[in-house]
C-alpha cells in the first residue's frame, strides 16, 4: 500500500456538528443512515473502504465510559475480542476500541476500530474496519489523526 500521508486529502465539513473529517481526495461523503441512530456522516473510498462518524450526548461520561457502553452494544450484536488503548482523538484524550467479526467456523472475517472522544456535552465516535486489516490500518489511523473539532 502506498504512503497515504503524502497523497492529496480533502476536508469534509460536518457543518451542523462542528467537525471536519479529512479523507483521501478520491473519497466521497455519504448521507447518514437514520436507522443507525446518531450517525452524522458516512464516507467511502470504494469497496471495502468505508467509515462512519457518530455524535452522541456524553451524559457527563468520559471517553472510556462511552467506549464501555459501545462495547456492550457491539457484544450484543456478536462482535468480540475487544481490546482498547488510550489515544488522542479529535484533539482530546480518547480511547481506541478494536473488535472483530467471526464466521460460523470462528474465523475472523472483519476487524474494526472505533475511536472515542468527549468534547463538551458530546461524545464523538469514528469507526472504520476492514477484511484486510494490515492493509487498511494505516489509513484508519491517518484519518483518525486528522479528524478535528471546530467548535
Q: What is the CATH number for 25?
A: 3.40.1000.10
Cell numbers for 7, please give them.
497523497
The residue segments making up the domain with residue 45 are: 4-149
Are 86 and 16 contacting, i.e. CB atoms less than 8 angstroms apart?
Answer: no
pLDDT tens by residue, 28-55: 999 888 888 888 899 998 888 889 999 9
Provide the domain count of the chain: 1
* Phi, psi of 96, rounded to the nearest 5 degrees: -110, 125
pLDDT of residue 78: 93
pTM, rounded to two decimals: 0.91
* Phi, psi of 105, rounded to the nearest 5 degrees: -95, 10
Query: What is d(CA 124, CA 117) in angstroms, rounded to the nearest whole number?
Result: 5
Are 52 and 128 contacting, i.e. CB atoms less than 8 angstroms apart?
Answer: yes
Does the pLDDT value for residue 6 go beyond 80?
no
Amino acid at each position: 500500500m502506498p504512503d497515504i500521508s503524502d497523497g492529496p486529502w480533502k476536508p469534509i465539513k460536518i457543518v451542523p456538528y462542528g467537525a471536519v473529517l479529512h479523507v483521501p481526495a478520491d473519497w466521497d461523503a455519504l448521507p447518514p443512515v437514520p436507522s443507525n441512530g446518531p450517525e452524522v456522516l458516512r464516507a467511502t473510498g470504494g469497496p471495502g473502504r468505508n467509515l462512519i462518524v457518530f455524535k452522541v450526548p456524553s451524559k457527563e461520561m468520559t471517553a472510556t465510559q462511552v467506549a464501555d457502553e459501545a462495547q456492550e452494544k457491539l457484544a450484543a450484536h456478536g462482535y468480540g475480542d475487544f481490546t482498547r488503548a488510550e489515544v488522542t482523538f479529535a484533539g482530546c484524550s480518547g480511547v481506541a476500541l478494536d473488535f472483530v467479526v467471526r464466521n460460523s467456523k470462528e474465523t475472523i472475517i472483519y476487524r474494526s476500530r472505533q475511536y472515542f472522544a468527549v468534547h463538551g456535552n458530546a461524545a464523538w465516535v469514528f469507526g472504520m474496519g476492514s477484511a484486510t486489516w494490515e492493509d487498511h490500518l494505516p489509513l484508519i489511523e491517518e484519518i483518525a489523526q486528522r479528524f478535528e473539532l471546530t467548535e
